[in-house]
Amino acid sequence: MIKKSPLAPNSFPKLPIIDGVRFATAATGVKYRDRTDVMLASIAAGSTVAGVFTRSATRAACVLDCQSKIGGDTSRGAAILVNSGNANAFTGVAGQESVSRICAAVAEGLGLPVSAVFTSSTGVIGEVLPDHKITKCIGSLTRSMHSNAIEDAANAIMTTDTFTKGSTASVEVSGKTVKISGIAKGSGMIAPDMATMLVYIFTDAKIIQSELQTLLTDLTDSSFNCITVDSDTSTSDAVICAATGTSGVDVTRNESFKKALGHVMLDLAHQVVKDGEGATKFVAVEVTGAASDGDARKIAMSIANSPLVKTAVAGEDPNWGRIVMAVGKSGATANRDRLSIWFGPHLVAEKGWVSKSYNEKTGATYMKQNNLIIRVDLGLGNATTTVWTCDLTHQYIEINADYRS
């Protein structure tokens, strides 16, 4: 049994009801016993839906299906169905047929066009999805929809997750309140581009689809695309945002709304890293002074993905030499003699050498914290970035060396 991540928040946050969105869950037995494994969300007529998906060349059938539908007409409403336990990825024509049958059943159950039904599947790759187990539950799902069941929905979509992930924000626009509630799953196969996981965000804001899509794509770059657990990219990643418009508040190009949505997305992204398989440390990698944005990202991701850096963090070893190594291997422009490195507030190295003010004991004490900041200044330019990662521990090996049996 996998223990709950030591980085988990104390409790699931209180997520406000979003008018126009209802949820139901079921235990269909796709793979797991004694737990829910399907969630259905119905989204009211007049809503807009945006989505961002994995760039994997071996995307799952449900991802390809979503991508073909996003941007279409959802004026009669929409639905999202997610199953856990089976990713329905690399299952050939059978995979596409499963998606079609599930979408048809949901469309019929909720009185929607098939083109407004989005699905995700998460779990093992390469096994045929027993979709009949899902479709036969659609009737009972549609009869049990509730507006206050978002936490149940978040539970049903978990795989190797050790805690349920949710986040919320609200924002005042023209004297009225706009609410955002989001849920996520994700623990392994969390990788830079695009960061894994399934994420569903609901808001009662009013915004046309093309504007919502732009917003979601932009904000994904600075949230889900800035996290990594193991550098592995899922076949099934999806971030879907539905705006019901039920608040009556138009948030088009509203900076406060953008900030609030960005907050929810970054919070969910951080929760995914904090539930990274085997994680015991949450690490922000900050790069400053890089010659270009691309270089800043290359260096940050090189550090965040380095097994030697991640095992040093696991061992609470202030091994800054491995950070130098990761900068050096990144392929970005770096000058050894201009490089500075900090562990939190502690200047560790500068001008190509250990700092005079640094002593190993300070570093070792700092590394005992659960939340760490590793900062590298290249001394070359003005580009900066921050990415988030976790440590690499025995438990990662335990979880992944025998995941399927």
Site for a copy of itself in 79-108 (CB under 8 A): 87, 89-95
CA dist 228 and 276 (Å) reads 9
Question: What is the closest distance, in whole angstroms, from the C-beta atom of residue 10 to a copy of itself in the complex?
Answer: 28
Selected from 231, 362, 384, 386, the binder of a copy of itself by CB under 8 A is 231
Which helix (H) or strand (E) segment holds residue 90: the answer is: none
Active-site hit among 142, 196, 288, 393: 196
Selected from 72, 259, 321, 370, the binder of a copy of itself by CB under 8 A is 321
User: Is 142 tagged catalytic?
Assistant: no
Judged by CB under 8 A, the stretch of 73-81, 137-145, 163-171, 318-326 that binds a copy of itself is 318-326
Q: Which is nearer to a copy of itself, 11 or 405 (CB)?
A: 405
CA dist 54 and 240 (Å) reads 12
Number of helices (H) and strands (E), helices first, in the chain? 12, 15
The residues in 234-273 that bind a copy of itself, with binding defined as CB under 8 A, are: 234-235
Q: Does 322 bind a copy of itself (CB under 8 A)?
A: yes
The residues in 162-181 that bind a copy of itself, with binding defined as CB under 8 A, are: none
Q: Which is nearer to a copy of itself, 328 or 344 (CB)?
A: 328
Q: Residue 194 is encoded by which pair of tokens? A: 């695009």
Query: Which residues are bridge partners to 8 per DSSP?
Result: none
On the 0-12 / 13-18 / 19+ scale of CB atoms within 10 A, 394 is exposed
The residues in 114-143 that bind a copy of itself, with binding defined as CB under 8 A, are: 124-127
Phi, psi of 49 (to 5 degrees): -130, 130
Q: Does 339 bind a copy of itself (CB under 8 A)?
A: yes
CA dist 212 and 90 (Å) reads 30
- Site residue total, a copy of itself (CB under 8 A): 71
CA dist 49 and 93 (Å) reads 27
Q: Does 351 bind a copy of itself (CB under 8 A)?
A: yes
Q: Does 280 bind a copy of itself (CB under 8 A)?
A: no
One-letter amino acid for residue 350 of the chain:
E
Q: Residue 90 is encoded by which pair of tokens? A: 């690399």
Judged by CB under 8 A, the stretch of 108-116, 161-169, 267-275, 311-319 that binds a copy of itself is 311-319
Which pairing describes strands 371-377 and 383-390: parallel, antiparallel, or unpaired?
Answer: unpaired
Q: Does 6 bind a copy of itself (CB under 8 A)?
A: no
Judged by CB under 8 A, the stretch of 22-30, 99-107, 131-139, 321-329 that binds a copy of itself is 321-329
Q: Residue 308 is encoded by which pair of tokens? A: 């030697």
Spatial CA neighbour of 386 closest among 276, 211, 269: 269
Q: Which is nearer to a copy of itself, 114 or 325 (CB)?
A: 325
Q: Does 392 bind a copy of itself (CB under 8 A)?
A: yes
Selected from 132, 136, 146, 336, the binder of a copy of itself by CB under 8 A is 336
Spatial CA neighbour of 167 closest among 387, 16, 52, 370: 16
- Torsion angle of the four alpha carbons 100, 101, 103, 105, in this order, in degrees rounded to the nearest 10: 160
Judged by CB under 8 A, the stretch of 42-50, 138-146, 202-210, 346-354 that binds a copy of itself is 346-354
Judged by CB under 8 A, the stretch of 142-150, 204-212, 281-289, 316-324 that binds a copy of itself is 316-324
Give the three-state DSSP class for 398: helix
Q: Does 347 bind a copy of itself (CB under 8 A)?
A: no
Binding mask 18-57 for a copy of itself (x = CB under 8 A): ------------------------------------x-xx
Q: Which residues contact 359 (CB under 8 A, 6 or more apart)?
A: none
Q: Does 190 bind a copy of itself (CB under 8 A)?
A: no
Is-contact 61 91, C-beta < 8 A? yes
The alpha carbon dihedral of 241, 153, 24, 138 has a sign of positive
Residues marked active site are found at 196
